[in-house]
Amino acid sequence: MTAPDLITSPGLDALFTPRGIAVIGASRDPAKLGAALARSVTAFPGHVALVNARDPEPAAGIYPSVEEAAEHGPVDLALICLPARACADAVAEAAKAGVSAAVVYGGGFAEAGPEGERYQRELADVVERTGIRLLGPNTSGFLAPAHGLTASFVPGAADVPAGRIAVVAASGGVNHALAFLLGEAGHGVSLAVGLGNSADVTTADVLDHLAADPHTTAVALHIESIADGRRLADAVSWLTTTRPVVALVVGRHDVGAFAASHTGALATSWRTTRAALAQAGAVLVDDERELVDAVGALSLVRLPPAADPGVGVVTAQAGPGLLLLDDLRGRRAAVPELTADTRRTLADVLPPLTYQANPVDTGRPGPGFAAVLEAVAADPAVDLIAGYALHEPGAFDLVEAVKTARVSVPMALGVGGAGDDVRRARRALLDRGVPVTGDPSGLAAMTGALLADARARSRTTAVPAVPVHVEVGPGPWDEDQAKTLLAALGVQTMPRRTCADRTEAHRALAELPGPVAVKLLDAAVLHKTEIGGVRLGVQTPEELDAALDAIETAGGRRFLVESMAPPGVDLVVGARRDPVFGPIVLVGLGGTTAEALADISIRLAPLSVAEAAAMPAELAGHALIDGWRGGPVLDRSALGEAVAALGDLLAAHPELAEIEINPLRITAHRLVALDAVCIAAETTEPLQEKVMTDGRTHQ
Amino acid sequence: MTAPDLITSPGLDALFTPRGIAVIGASRDPAKLGAALARSVTAFPGHVALVNARDPEPAAGIYPSVEEAAEHGPVDLALICLPARACADAVAEAAKAGVSAAVVYGGGFAEAGPEGERYQRELADVVERTGIRLLGPNTSGFLAPAHGLTASFVPGAADVPAGRIAVVAASGGVNHALAFLLGEAGHGVSLAVGLGNSADVTTADVLDHLAADPHTTAVALHIESIADGRRLADAVSWLTTTRPVVALVVGRHDVGAFAASHTGALATSWRTTRAALAQAGAVLVDDERELVDAVGALSLVRLPPAADPGVGVVTAQAGPGLLLLDDLRGRRAAVPELTADTRRTLADVLPPLTYQANPVDTGRPGPGFAAVLEAVAADPAVDLIAGYALHEPGAFDLVEAVKTARVSVPMALGVGGAGDDVRRARRALLDRGVPVTGDPSGLAAMTGALLADARARSRTTAVPAVPVHVEVGPGPWDEDQAKTLLAALGVQTMPRRTCADRTEAHRALAELPGPVAVKLLDAAVLHKTEIGGVRLGVQTPEELDAALDAIETAGGRRFLVESMAPPGVDLVVGARRDPVFGPIVLVGLGGTTAEALADISIRLAPLSVAEAAAMPAELAGHALIDGWRGGPVLDRSALGEAVAALGDLLAAHPELAEIEINPLRITAHRLVALDAVCIAAETTEPLQEKVMTDGRTHQ
């Protein structure tokens, strides 16, 4: 893993840690944006200058221009509170006055039709010409509590406490909503940024900045749309080497029209984006609440990298413990058996009627609770304790138990209860560096996040493409050529003959083992089954003639004759070029049901064989490929090699748009490609006609 | 819908609204249970008597017996704080002294092995003998804040404010956790009960009690295991006619061992329980947080019954609005187009750059916000408003906007922000009867609950079984007999002949239209395909002979010859007897993928045709049955009739354990049963070998 190039380009220090600020368009009308910003920056400890070209009052500190303002102190950052049409000039003027960064708050840019698009292009031009860094337009700004800077117009934003979590949100509204939630949860923020339209500064730029931010220990990421997916994935990969990233991606369902109105960009494929972020090491969550718990926990604790860390579950109440365990199982958390030693120790500490497996149910918690935590933590299979207890003032002091327990692994805790007293207890635990939340599902979210981060770091994510020494040629490719390509990549196929006429087909039938499939062979025909161009199970010369008749009727002039594969379970695997992320690979189950459910695993290519081999485990229907009802078991490493090779191929050959094996059959002894399609990058075949999609096009 | 019989049996008034209380086993040792309970009931306004047979001190109000305590004031309820072995006698003694209800707190009963099981049987015997109503054992009790009664040993329980929501939880710990969460959310509770081992009082009993409780407007239900599923479903059906019920069911994943240790009962099938509760009118949720938002909203607002109410989404910030919309789409909420009239009104109120479809994005909220709420509410397609705004003190007063808006439909609101000020705003909205939460996912949970409740009430759920005039006979049934039964129920099959020998089979081939399927016919063989007893697509006499040879080799002596059905999409439908709920019907997609995913819809039988017809819409793969890739479209009413008939059959014929059609094929013109199996109630065929399961047995 190497640092991304842009680390060395003009950074964002001037934006987020300026020495001085100018509010451009500062207003005396308290309802105006310019007045709100002027109020927000009053607490900033550095130089603050208000600028209003039409209503200057130098005596009250309101200057007619940035230039003049800059004479009275350093101005690194300009906060532009002007209508869209005036912003480009204002940014240019600021840059000329030596300002290094700007925020443009107002809307009316790319999200608002052709005129707005023009205004946004003008802003981008100024950025390119001057090198100034620009946040926005169409954002409520950012908060940097550690620097005393509230560059936001949202009332109450200044009250968000300083903390260790950075928020990087596509939307200004979500940025503030998350910052408030993190404040309420006792965490606060180190920096909280709403990107808005991203005319210059992107999510990836902010992530790069955070990789060197001493105040930030974890990052909450909110994604609506992405311009450069690879750049984002690289930034996340780099950042997660030092700081965990928790990501919430919008657009699982169809929200396209509203999303476009919001930032002027189309929503990115939800599945591909999630897959790419997970592959880059981010922890994915489903909603804001889970985000707050997950990033809160990861801001305090990070497990060592591990493929499958074990969770010791300790609960003072069985019912909430059961909710927790159910949720953890859904997250595929390992809740390992405790050793006989551990259970002996627990038996000494706990009353006889308590459940002393994993979970450990302490019954009414007492002074032995600390000893239980110690015993479970000491179990060799336990890497993390997830503990739940109702707060019981006067009866049981969980904080004291945590203080006195010599616990050798990290803990995450849920403390149920209401009122100031329980809030103080949670505060005390947070102050000791112990992640804490109020209920079992929050605790499961915290635990799941710690596990997901440890698992992600146990994988090698950055893999250089393996040079592929394959003659690809210009295309189009027929099935035989596609299979020749597969063979060169190490993917097995059945014995086959290409036949220019019926005589050759009869010779092939005679020479090939077993019954054969007979197929129309034509690079121009992508869906030969649908036009009657495939006949299966042909055994006799008479059957072959009938098959050839049918295929000729369907327009076939050349034939592929191929030995039938043994029965098995079918997969669909492929590699294609995503418009946002570039080369990706996909693995799904064969058949229409899996297709209708969009049950597909996705990764960016190139990728390691191990990473590719892990893809099928993500499929909802993965039980089918593990010997379902006595059927064959998938050879994961063979699959990994095939999928990684397809990815390497696409990465190395820009002339290829897509290659798909459908089906790739799992038989008792090996993986066999039964059909394959290669598509050239020039093809006009629309994406939605492909057999394999990520599900969005069908809904 | 009629009131359940048990409404007239000894009710729970003495338990939850006693005139006086005795604490049996009251202790001077502050760490003891008996001391905790004595502390808890100090605020009770009625008569309180402490009883300690071994350490009486009448001067300090500690009596040697309940009998003596009852001489000083009425004692309706005894709180038993004794070891398991002493409880049955204590309850009997209390009953003798005229006490009508008791709570047994301690553990050591059915959850704790044979000795405990005996203690629990003794308790049940006392209940049966005396008619006393008993909550527990193995529970932390209940809270009834409206009556000033805290019959719980959990510290802090007395601080939960009185409210309108009743909690009925399997677990005492969950009961308290939920009561605290509801208190924190500003709702409070009317009653909060932890059932524990349910030696007498069951969840259904408490639900019946709540149906007549004037303090309760909504019920939060937590389910771990169920003894009598039908009784529970009836109680929920009855209660939901007047009060919404929101249910959280534990056990989606394998938590069996820990669950058994908790209450001594096996976890009920999660899927079947959820299906039964939904059918009875409950709103199902996935975790405690969703539960709190859902029941909180429903305690304040209930939509009129409607099959698909329309949601008007209003947001002051686009980003959170997008999160909300994404979540609502996942809940299949209708977010309808607004009329041209509505949009014209919005255009007058809102700035030009805002999104004025549905969602309506107001941009920075201003005085026009109330007018936006009014306009959206007035739209004929809108039955409910879901609104989100960041709290912006000094800039925008959402509470004032809600106060002044003349809004004609219910609202649910999300108010983002932190600190006391936003808490006051939320409080003010709650006090006006407007459900409010803090974030978009909470708002989606509230909205989804209001929709689910309105949808459930738009269905007729209680359906008497239609008498089935079918000769069923004693079984076992072969495929021909099973299909004759289906035909009598109105389910179509293909033309077929039963053949006692090869001559009859050849005659059948000659007489039946098209190619035929030839099958081994033997009521003792349930899985004929697996033993080679089925040959498909037989056309010629030679092929028939080959097929008969094979079937005879597989042990067949009689044959079923049947015309092949046209191609189509296969379903699996069936009816069976669930050990907890009795007759249920199931609908799933055919094929191993759907089976591996356990993608199945379940209902209790009998059920209406309309209810059965709605089942396929719940399948994750439902796109496949709606004309996927030019395929056939399911005739939902024909399916509904078939499934309802299967349910009626099972309800009417206790001698049948199960009937399954696999596959039931959707063809271009009709639904056809291709294979059917009937199993007698006496069969020893283990359930897990069935083709259709609810998924638990495979995990």
Within 8 A of A416 by CB-CB distance, chain B residues are: 173, 176-177, 180-181
Interface contact A261, partner B, CB < 8 A: yes
Q: Closest Cα to residue B206, out of B107, B274, B134?
A: B134
Alpha helices (H) along B133-228? 172-184, 203-210
Average pLDDT, chain A: 91
CA A392, chain centre distance (Å): 39
DSSP B251-264: -SS--HHHHHHHHS
Structure tokens at A596: 């209708």
Which of A172, A183, A440 shows the shortest C-beta gap to B288? A440
The helix/strand count (H/E) of chain B reads as 23, 28
> Which residues share a beta bridge with A437?
A414
Residue type, A50: L
Which of A112, A160, A173 shows the shortest C-beta gap to B390? A173
Residue type, A265: A
Instruction: Identify the pLDDT of residue B692.
Output: 36
Alpha helices (H) along B193-352? 203-210, 229-240, 256-263, 270-279, 288-300, 318-330, 340-349
Report yes or no: A403 and A432 within 8 Å, Cβ to Cβ: yes
Calculate mean pLDDT across residues B197-202. Answer: 96
DSSP B333-348: -B-PPPPHHHHHHHHH
Whether residue A251 and residue B326 make contact (CB cut-off 8 A), yes or no, is yes
Q: How far apart are CA B355 and CA B312, in angstroms?
A: 13
- Helix (H) / strand (E) element for A428: namely helix A420-431
Tens digits of residue pLDDT in B511-528: 999 899 999 999 988 788
Distance set, CA B619 to CA A214, B587, B590 (Å):
49, 9, 12
Number of other CB atoms surrounding residue A139 within 10 Å: 29
Interface contact A439, partner B, CB < 8 A: yes
The pLDDT-based confidence of B597 (bands split at 50, 70, 90) is confident
Q: How far apart are CA A163 and CA A188, in angstroms?
A: 4
Helix (H, G, I), strand (E, B) or coil at A188: coil
Tens digits of residue pLDDT in A351-388: 877 788 899 999 877 778 999 999 999 999 999 999 99
Residue type, B229: G
ipTM for the predicted complex comes to 0.93
Q: How far apart are CA A53 and CA A89, in angstroms?
A: 13
The alpha-carbon gap from B386 to the nearest alpha carbon of chain A, in Å, equals 16
Residue reference for tokens 């579950």 = A313
Report yes or no: A192 and A181 within 8 Å, Cβ to Cβ: no
In this predicted structure, the answer to whether residue A686 has a pLDDT above a threshold of 70 is: no
Instruction: Identify the pLDDT of residue B262.
Output: 57
Which class for A311: exposed (0-12), middle (13-18), buried (19 or more C-beta within 10 A)?
Answer: buried
Instruction: Identify the pLDDT of residue B695.
Output: 33
In this predicted structure, the answer to whether residue A687 has a pLDDT above a threshold of 80 is: no
Q: How far apart are CA A47 and CA B307, in angstroms?
A: 61
Per DSSP, A304 falls in state P
Whether residue A390 and residue B180 make contact (CB cut-off 8 A), yes or no, is yes
Whether residue B254 and residue A628 make contact (CB cut-off 8 A), yes or no, is no
- Helix (H) / strand (E) element for B636: namely helix B636-652
Interface contact A321, partner B, CB < 8 A: yes
Per DSSP, A334 falls in state B
Q: CA angle, B550 as apex, B549 and B552 as ends, to 5°?
A: 65
Which residues make Cβ contacts (< 8 Å) with residue B553, sequence separation at least 6?
B532
Residue reference for tokens 């017996």 = B65
Q: Closest Cα to residue A168, out of A83, A247, A105?
A: A247
Report yes or no: A275 and A603 within 8 Å, Cβ to Cβ: yes
Sheet holding B62-63, edge to edge: B62-63, B47-51, B20-24, B77-80, B101-104, B133-135
Residue type, B350: L
The pLDDT-based confidence of B6 (bands split at 50, 70, 90) is very low
Per DSSP, B676 falls in state E
Tens digits of residue pLDDT in B394-416: 888 899 999 999 999 999 999 99
Helix (H, G, I), strand (E, B) or coil at B245: strand
Q: How far apart are CA B638 and CA B643, in angstroms?
A: 9
Instruction: Identify the pLDDT of residue A595.
Output: 81
The alpha-carbon gap from A652 to the nearest alpha carbon of chain B, in Å, equals 34
Q: How far apart are CA B178 and CA B173, in angstroms?
A: 9
The helix/strand count (H/E) of chain A reads as 23, 28
Which residues make Cβ contacts (< 8 Å) with residue B195, sequence separation at least 6?
B135, B136, B139, B168, B169, B170, B171, B201, B202, B203, B206
Structure tokens at B284: 């199902």
Helix (H, G, I), strand (E, B) or coil at A195: coil
Interface contact A296, partner B, CB < 8 A: no
Within 8 A of B629 by CB-CB distance, chain A residues are: 592
CA A259, chain centre distance (Å): 18
Tens digits of residue pLDDT in A212-230: 999 999 999 999 989 899 9
Within 8 A of A322 by CB-CB distance, chain B residues are: 171, 224, 250, 255, 258-259, 262
Within 8 A of A255 by CB-CB distance, chain B residues are: 322, 325-326, 329
In this predicted structure, the answer to whether residue B484 has a pLDDT above a threshold of 80 is: yes
Structure tokens at B468: 């089935």
Tens digits of residue pLDDT in B276-300: 999 999 999 999 999 999 999 999 9
Interface contact B363, partner A, CB < 8 A: yes
Instruction: Identify the pLDDT of residue B691.
Output: 35
Question: What are the backbone angles phi and psi of residue A292, rounded to the nearest 5°?
Answer: -65, -45
Instruction: Identify the pLDDT of residue B260.
Output: 67
Whether residue B326 and residue A417 make contact (CB cut-off 8 A), yes or no, is no
Total length of chain A: 699
Calculate mean pLDDT across residues B661-672. Answer: 94
Q: How far apart are CA B410 and CA B382, in angstroms?
A: 10
Calculate mean pLDDT across residues A623-639. Answer: 92
Check residues A209 and B689 and name the one with the higher pLDDT: A209
Q: Which of residues 337-356 of B touch A (CB under 8 A)?
A: 353, 355
The pLDDT-based confidence of B340 (bands split at 50, 70, 90) is very high
Instruction: Identify the pLDDT of residue B685.
Output: 46
Which is it for strands A559-563 and A569-578: parallel, antiparallel or unpaired?
unpaired
Structure tokens at B189: 């509770």
Q: Closest Cα to residue A91, out of A73, A108, A104?
A: A104
Report yes or no: A79 and A103 within 8 Å, Cβ to Cβ: yes
- Residue of A317, A327, A690 best to disrupt the B interface, most CBs of B under 10 A: A317
Which is it for strands B62-63 and B47-51: parallel, antiparallel or unpaired?
parallel
Calculate mean pLDDT across residues B125-153. Answer: 96
Report yes or no: A554 and A615 within 8 Å, Cβ to Cβ: no
Check residues A264 and B304 and name the one with the higher pLDDT: B304
Residue type, B376: V
Q: How far apart are CA A328 and CA A326, in angstroms?
A: 6
The pLDDT-based confidence of B10 (bands split at 50, 70, 90) is low
Distance set, CA A205 to CA A3, A6, A122, A200, A234 (Å):
12, 8, 21, 9, 11
Instruction: Identify the pLDDT of residue B671.
Output: 96
Q: How far apart are CA A162 and CA A145, in angstroms?
A: 5
Calculate mean pLDDT across residues A125-130. Answer: 97
Instruction: Identify the pLDDT of residue B411.
Output: 97
Report yes or no: B570 and A593 within 8 Å, Cβ to Cβ: no
Q: Which of A349-353, B204-208, B436-440 has the lowest mean pLDDT?
A: A349-353
Tens digits of residue pLDDT in A397-447: 899 999 999 999 999 999 999 989 999 999 999 999 999 999 999 999 999
CA A126, chain centre distance (Å): 32
Q: What percentage of chain B reaches a pLDDT higher than 70?
A: 94
Question: What are the backbone angles phi and psi of residue B290, rounded to the nearest 5°?
Answer: -65, -35
In this predicted structure, the answer to whether residue B599 has a pLDDT above a threshold of 60 is: yes
Alpha helices (H) along A131-269? 172-184, 203-210, 229-240, 256-263
Instruction: Identify the pLDDT of residue B254.
Output: 79
Which residues make Cβ contacts (< 8 Å) with residue B596, sequence separation at least 6?
A621, A623, A624, A628, B698
Calculate mean pLDDT across residues B216-243. Answer: 96
Structure tokens at B652: 């009417």
Interface contact B110, partner A, CB < 8 A: no
Residue of A nearest to B335 (CA): A255
Distance set, CA A637 to CA A565, A574, A643 (Å):
21, 16, 10
The alpha-carbon gap from B681 to the nearest alpha carbon of chain A, in Å, equals 26
Interface contact B571, partner A, CB < 8 A: no
Calculate mean pLDDT across residues B159-171. Answer: 97
Q: How far apart are CA A314 and CA A361, in angstroms?
A: 6
Whether residue A390 and residue B112 make contact (CB cut-off 8 A), yes or no, is no
The alpha-carbon gap from B460 to the nearest alpha carbon of chain A, in Å, equals 30
Residue reference for tokens 């009690």 = B209
